């Protein structure tokens, strides 16, 4: 039985991937996570007793800890989800993003290079994969039309996206120089179960339920391509099994929406799932509809106007495509947050969520 090392597996996308890997592959899955505010043991409760699952608490930027994990587990694949990922937090505190997203990726690549050197032979190199989970944000802001493809230049606008771009360059360099079979995935904006409420969709859902203001940056016209997390995980599984080393794959669903359109869609769906007339919190807030909670706030510095990726390559080469449209997935997401108040209360217990960060005054 081969072992997949999933770093950052206690985070939002990582925990969804862990469940998908255990459900659909025969591999052993070992999660390595530092358990910062973004990595939560609550996210892995459903797999805690699985016979092919193990957890190691470690910092991927700690060379000795990473070496010990590689020595003990001898992984056949590394999937690096571990990252500081909230742009607003990167404005307030850039150092953590450089340490985890760049230094951490470097240490994982170094450990992979040493593992392959010790194992020797082309078979080990042929069977090994290093998959770096990156973002569409590395490409920078896009105009009103067109989409980024895999050959588009990297022009990051935030410390977060710059750190992810740097990790991409390291993967490419280790592939070209040392023969580490690395692949990069550039996913668009993910949403779905287990996403922390510092991000737009869960923040809007939970604030609306509680009758709190729904903050919208600037004029609400910033455009993102929204990708359901289970579809992203399916894409990564296909890339692991059939992707070509040295390549990168854009993963996008073609669900372009402005932030204002997303907030409006959540308000409309909540009117069906939990009508405002039955929600006492809205009465206490003095409103009769969820949409009345919308509040435009000062934009964050360097806020890219539009992202969109061309996912033709992964669709053509690996046969991947999203299973359902945006509206259906948004309904599923809203229902998950309504049905999981214990999880929501647990991840918000330290008071760090739903706090404005990255403001112009920061």
Give catalytic residue positions: 136-137, 160
> What is the spatial order of strands in the sheet that 129-135 belongs to?
53-57, 28-33, 3-7, 77-80, 129-135, 182-187, 248-251
Helix, strand, coil percentages (3-state) for the chain, rounded to 5, are: 50, 15, 35
What is the Cα Rg of the chain in Å?
Answer: 20
- Which residue bears the tokens 């609550």? 42
Rounded-to-integer distance, Cα 148 and Cα 135, Å: 12
CA dist 345 → 172, 341, 348, 350 (Å): 41, 6, 5, 10
- Which residue bears the tokens 């450990």? 111
DSSP conformational letter for 283: H
Rounded-to-integer distance, Cα 305 and Cα 307, Å: 7
Rounded-to-integer distance, Cα 218 and Cα 359, Å: 12
Rounded-to-integer distance, Cα 257 and Cα 11, Å: 25
- Which residue bears the tokens 């947050």? 337
Q: Helices 104-119 and 63-73 meet at what angle, rounded to 10?
A: 40
Residue 217's φ and ψ, nearest 5 degrees, are: -70, 135
């Amino acid at each position: 039985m081969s072992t997949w090392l999933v770093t950052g597996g206690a985070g939002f996308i990582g925990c969804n991937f862990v469940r998908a890997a255990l459900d659909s592959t025969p591999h052993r899955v070992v999660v390595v996570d530092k358990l910062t505010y973004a990595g939560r043991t609550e996210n892995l409760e459903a797999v805690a007793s699985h016979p092919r699952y193990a957890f190691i608490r470690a910092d991927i930027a700690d060379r000795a800890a990473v070496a010990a994990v590689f020595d003990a587990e001898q992984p056949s694949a590394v999937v690096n989800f571990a990252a500081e990922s909230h742009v607003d937090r990167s404005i307030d505190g850039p150092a953590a993003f450089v340490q985890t997203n760049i230094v951490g990726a470097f240490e994982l690549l170094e450990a992979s290079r040493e593992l392959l050197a010790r194992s020797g032979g082309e078979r080990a190199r042929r069977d090994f994969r290093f998959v770096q989970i990156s973002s569409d944000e590395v490409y920078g802001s896009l105009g009103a039309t067109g989409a980024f493809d895999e050959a588009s230049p990297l022009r990051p606008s935030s410390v977060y996206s710059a750190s992810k771009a740097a990790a991409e360059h390291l993967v490419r360099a280790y592939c070209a120089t040392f023969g580490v079979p690395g692949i990069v995935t550039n996913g668009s904006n993910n949403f779905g179960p287990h996403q922390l409420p510092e991000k737009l969709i869960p923040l809007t859902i939970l604030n609306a339920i509680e009758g709190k203001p729904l903050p919208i940056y600037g004029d609400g016209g910033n455009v993102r391509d929204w990708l359901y997390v289970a579809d992203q995980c399916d894409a990564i599984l296909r890339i692991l099994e059939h992707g070509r080393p040295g390549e990168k794959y854009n993963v996008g669903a073609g669900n372009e929406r402005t932030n204002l359109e997303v907030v409006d869609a959540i308000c409309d769906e909540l009117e069906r799932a939990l009508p405002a007339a039955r929600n006492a919190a809205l009465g206490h807030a003095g409103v009769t509809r969820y949409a009345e909670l919308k509040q435009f706030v000062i934009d964050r510095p360097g806020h890219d106007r539009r992202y969109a990726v061309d996912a033709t390559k992964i669709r053509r080469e690996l046969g991947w495509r999203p299973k359902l449209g945006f509206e259906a997935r948004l309904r599923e997401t809203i229902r998950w947050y309504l049905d999981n108040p214990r999880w929501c209360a647990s991840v918000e217990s330290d008071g760090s969520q739903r706090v404005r960060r990255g403001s112009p005054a920061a």
